[in-house]
């Protein structure tokens, strides 16, 4: 990219509006003085080239005399020529610059039908920070506090090159601003790093509390402000600066993946070890059987009645097919539960495959405690319209088939009607694809037609169809899986934008859909052996990692999560609209990442799934360590009861809730934790390479040079049952059988004890 590097000093008014700037040419290593904002400044940029195209830089701006009020200082990469076709990335915050059709609206936002067609790069989002797709000013401003990995990346379409700037999360106690400011003609742009960084008010000043508008974030009480500096005080930050050939957008994600922890030495610190997977499972199984089981309906309801009308006809917390756990929890209980849980899981499956299927063969959306079905609400469609988020079809069929496959594997009797319902849904999805060339974002489930096209909402459907092809021995399902996954690969993955997973984010880029693509791509790799699917799975893992928090977050002193010593590494930014962190993948274990690691041999992927899995047990509330509930929209309890997990890990001032606080809320994260126990090993080891990774809250090492025995310690206060997968590199190249984790050897370790495991 052609870019001129400049120093920038800026002064602001009381509302954080930038009113004046001074730009000066940079000569690396040479000091520069300037008078600005009532002060004498000394500016310096020290740069060292650490590898071809990679520089490590340190910027400082010191006030030598005077007093500078409401100021910020930093660096500007002035880019000309520029194009609106350039891909702009701020991990967890902006994908393709969020340059999509937008509308200011309250949360949850209502969806508009923009007339999208299959393959179109057109989305409908809320009024979140974004580059404009319309004539006029265009400014994207976020801060290092908004990013899963603090970074600003651009791929230049014309030159197939990229610029990637990585920063710390804070510098001298200040956030770093990550901004892109385009000219009205879109032929020039500035890439800006400023300290302190903060969100600037745009347009009318809407009341705080609305989500999905440009102006709310800057009013968050913990959002940073400009600085006031006296003589001798300074602003500054480090930056890792990459310029490299970049043939496509996935290459930008690959570079980010390789360097996502580079600015965080603390990322190498051990992960917290507080609760073994097996103990988390015990708490969750007890909690679900005591509180979530509904005997009259014969199902595990997805949420608890934490408000008076929580299970009304307008609520989505009694039952949902897919998405937030409906039907998925039953698979987990069939997989690893006791006799009671397994029996209830079978009843849950019967309910789903008899009452949860529409006349078209597709799955319905949401049911109230009175048995009233309705289409997806979330502000997306009118009341009474039988529209379902496409994602629900993939989630539900995927886990229904896993449960049916598990029953077949165990030689359990399966009523013919269950198989018929699952097969009918798979055929209905194939009919839909062949007729419309898309699974779309919303589906009219009564008439089996796409109501609104676009998005990656159906990301998991190809994986479900691969399972259907195997279970029913019907090649048609595999053929459609191939074609649909190829479109997702060549469009969404290549574009670097996956959307449509969380329906309450409209079509904003999200961190859920991409994990569905991982499952679909690796399933096709194993089912077909065809070239390209493994590469797509690896690329999807790289993109998925951009949503995962890559560093320990310093929660505010006195906050609930700070008081409990929580570590946010491995949690995820939910989506570019709902900027809270979440524990776990909604709603998967992430075993597709493990499978992609085994097929590719890239141990960094094993580290990624370890981060995600290892983070989850921290957020399980326990009797001996209840999590305080200080956000009041949940159940009016002072703390989360045992076995509850709240989906909020509030880490960013772009989300209108106190940082480090949670509500008494029971949700889908519990299902993600149960799947983690069911589908992932607690320890993975390779004796021929010496590789060991503990996903569970234990520690392991080889007991001697022969690498035949593992010494495993349980540092927690709870007994642990740990599933262990030991294999050689050649064995890792072979696909694992379905439900492999249930057959893994298990090591039992008392609290605080150490045991040997013979590989």
Q: How confident is the model at residue 384 (pLDDT cuts 50, 70, 90)?
A: low
Q: Would you say 668 and 640 are in contact if contact means Cβ atoms under 8 Å apart?
A: no
Cβ atoms within 10 Å of 728's Cβ, excluding its own: 11
Q: Which residues contact 490 (CB under 8 A, 6 or more apart)?
A: none
Q: Are 23 and 76 in contact (CB under 8 A)?
A: yes
pLDDT confidence tier of residue 666, bands split at 50, 70 and 90: very high
Flag whether 271 is in a domain: no
Q: What is the CATH number of the domain that holds 134?
A: 2.70.98
648 in the same domain as 700: no
Domain limit, last residue, from 218, 240, 263:
263
- Closest to 319 (Cα-Cα) out of 367, 250, 359: 367
The chain-wide mean pLDDT, for the chain, equals 93
Q: How far apart are CA 90 and CA 455, in angstroms?
A: 20
Q: Is the pLDDT of residue 208 over 70?
A: no
Is position 428 within any domain?
yes
Instruction: Write down which residue in 637, 662, 680 finishes a domain.
Output: 680
Whether 486 shows a pLDDT value over 70: the answer reads yes
CB atoms within 10 A of CB 83: 14
pLDDT at 267 exceeding the cut of 90: no
Residues 188 and 117 in one domain: yes
Q: Is residue 378 scored above 50 in pLDDT? A: no
Identify whether the C-beta of residue 700 lies closer than 8 Å to the C-beta of residue 726: no
* Tens digits of residue pLDDT in 306-350: 655 555 555 667 899 999 888 999 999 999 999 999 999 999 999
The predicted pLDDT at position 414 comes to 95
- DSSP character for 491? I
Residue entry with tokens 């949670």: 662
* Pair 233, 152 in one domain: yes
The 10 Å Cβ neighbour count of residue 742 is 16
Q: What per-residue confidence (pLDDT) applies to 633?
A: 82
Domain-ending residue, one of 645, 680, 715: 680
Each residue's pLDDT tens digit, 594-642:
999 999 999 999 999 999 999 999 999 999 999 999 998 878 899 999 9
Q: Indicate whether this model's pTM tops 0.75.
A: yes
Whether residue 269 lies inside any domain: the answer is no
Q: Do residues 482 and 548 touch, judged by C-beta distance below 8 A?
A: no
Tens of pLDDT, residue by residue over 162-184, are 999 999 999 999 999 999 999 99
Q: Who contacts 579 (Cβ-Cβ below 8 Å, separation ≥6)?
A: 92, 93, 146, 217, 573, 652, 654, 655
Tokens of 484: 């649909």
Q: What Rg value do the Cα atoms of the chain yield, rounded?
A: 26
Tokens of 46: 């020290």
Q: Are residues 190 and 304 in the same domain?
A: no
pLDDT tens by residue, 455-478: 999 999 999 999 999 999 999 999
Please check whether residues 696 and 672 belong to one and the same domain: no
pLDDT at residue 15 is higher than 50 = yes
Q: Is residue 35 part of a domain?
A: yes
SS (H, E, C) 238-271: EEEEEEEECCCHHHHHHHHHHHCCCCCHHHHCCC
Please, what is the end-to-end C-alpha distance for the chain in angstroms? 52
Same domain, 188 and 87: yes
Q: Return the minimum-mean-pLDDT range out of 14-18, 44-48, 595-599.
A: 14-18
Q: What is the pLDDT of residue 383?
A: 52
Same-domain check for residues 301 and 202: no
Assess contact for 122 and 100: CB atoms under 8 A: yes
Residue with structure tokens 């007729």?
A: 435
Q: What is the pLDDT of residues 65-86, one digit of tens each?
A: 999 999 999 999 999 999 999 9
Q: Is the pLDDT of residue 296 over 60?
A: yes
Q: Domain range for residue 448?
A: 277-680
């Amino acid at each position: 990219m052609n870019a001129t590097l400049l120093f920038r000093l800026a002064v602001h008014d009381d509302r954080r509006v930038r009113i004046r700037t001074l730009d000066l040419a940079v000569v690396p290593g040479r000091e520069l003085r300037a008078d600005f904002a009532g002060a004498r400044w000394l500016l310096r940029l020290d740069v060292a080239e650490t590898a071809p195209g990679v520089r490590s830089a340190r910027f400082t701006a010191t006030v030598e005399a005077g007093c500078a009020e409401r100021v910020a200082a930093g660096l500007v990469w002035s880019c000309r020529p520029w194009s609106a076709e350039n891909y702009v990335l701020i991990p967890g915050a902006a994908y393709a610059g969020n340059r999509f059709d937008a509308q200011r609206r309250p949360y949850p936002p209502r969806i508009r039908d923009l007339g999208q067609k299959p393959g179109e790069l057109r989305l409908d989002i809320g009024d979140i920070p974004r580059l404009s797709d319309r004539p006029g000013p265009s400014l994207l401003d976020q801060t290092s506090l908004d990013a899963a990995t603090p970074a600003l990346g651009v791929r230049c379409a014309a030159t197939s090159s990229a610029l990637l700037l990585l920063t710390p999360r804070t510098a001298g106690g200040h956030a770093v601003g990550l901004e892109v400011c385009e000219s009205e003609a879109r032929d020039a742009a500035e890439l800006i790093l400023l300290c302190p960084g903060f969100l600037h008010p745009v347009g009318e000043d809407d009341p705080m509390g609305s989500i999905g508008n440009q102006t709310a974030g800057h009013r968050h009480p913990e959002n940073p402000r400009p600085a006031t500096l006296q003589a001798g005080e300074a602003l500054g930050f480090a930056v890792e600066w990459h310029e490299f050939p970049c043939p496509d957008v996935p290459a930008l994600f690959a570079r980010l993946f390789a360097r996502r922890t580079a600015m965080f030495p603390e990322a190498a610190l051990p992960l917290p070890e507080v609760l073994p997977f097996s103990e988390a499972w015990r708490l969750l199984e007890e909690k679900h059987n005591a509180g979530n089981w509904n005997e009259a309906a014969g199902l595990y309801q997805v949420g608890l009645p934490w408000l008076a009308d929580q299970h009304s006809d307008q609520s989505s917390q009694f039952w949902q097919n897919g998405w937030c756990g409906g039907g998925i929890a039953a698979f987990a209980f069939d997989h690893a539960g006791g006799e009671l849980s397994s029996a209830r899981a079978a009843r849950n499956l019967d309910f789903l495959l008899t009452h949860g299927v529409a006349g078209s063969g597709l799955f319905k959306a949401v049911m109230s405690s009175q048995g009233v079905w309705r289409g997806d609400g979330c502000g997306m469609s009118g009341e009474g319209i039988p529209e379902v988020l496409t994602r629900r079809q993939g989630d539900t069929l995927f886990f229904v088939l896993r449960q049916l496959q598990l029953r077949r594997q165990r030689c359990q009797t399966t009523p013919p009607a269950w198989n018929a319902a699952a097969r009918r849904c798979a055929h209905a999805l194939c009919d839909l694809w062949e007729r419309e060339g898309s699974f779309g974002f919303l589906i009219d489930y009564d008439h089996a037609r796409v109501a609104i096209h676009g998005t990656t909402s159906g990301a998991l459907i190809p994986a479900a169809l691969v399972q259907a092809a195997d279970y029913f021995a019907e090649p048609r399902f595999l053929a459609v899986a191939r074609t649909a996954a190829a479109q997702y690969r060549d469009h969404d993955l290549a574009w670097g934008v996956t959307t449509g997973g969380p329906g309450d984010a409209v079509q904003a880029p999200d961190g859920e859909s991409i994990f569905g693509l991982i499952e679909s791509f690796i399933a096709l790799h194993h089912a077909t052996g065809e070239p390209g699917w493994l590469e797509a799975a690896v690329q999807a893992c790289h993109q998925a990692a951009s949503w995962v928090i890559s560093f320990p977050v310093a929660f505010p002193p006195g906050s609930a999560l700070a008081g409990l010593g929580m570590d946010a590494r491995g949690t995820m930014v939910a989506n570019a609209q709902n900027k809270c962190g979440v524990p776990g993948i909604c709603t998967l274990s992430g075993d597709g990442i493990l499978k992609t690691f085994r097929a590719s041999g890239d141990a960094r992927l094993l580290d990624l799934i370890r981060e995600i899995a290892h983070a989850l047990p921290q957020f399980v509330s326990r009797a001996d360590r209840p999590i305080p509930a200080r956000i009041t929209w949940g159940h009016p309890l002072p703390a989360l009861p045992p076995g509850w997990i709240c989906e909020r890990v509030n880490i960013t001032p772009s989300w209108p809730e106190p940082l480090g606080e949670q509500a008494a809320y029971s949700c889908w994260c519990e299902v993600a934790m149960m799947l983690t126990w069911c589908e992932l090993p607690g320890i993975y080891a390779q004796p021929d390479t010496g590789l060991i990774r503990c996903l569970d809250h234990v520690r392991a090492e080889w007991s001697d040079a022969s690498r035949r025995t593992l010494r495993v310690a349980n540092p927690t206060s709870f007994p642990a049952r740990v599933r262990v997968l030991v294999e050689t590199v050649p064995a890792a190249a072979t696909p694992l059988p379905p439900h492999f984790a249930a057959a893994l050897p298990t090591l039992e370790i008392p609290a605080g004890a150490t045991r040997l495991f013979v590989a």
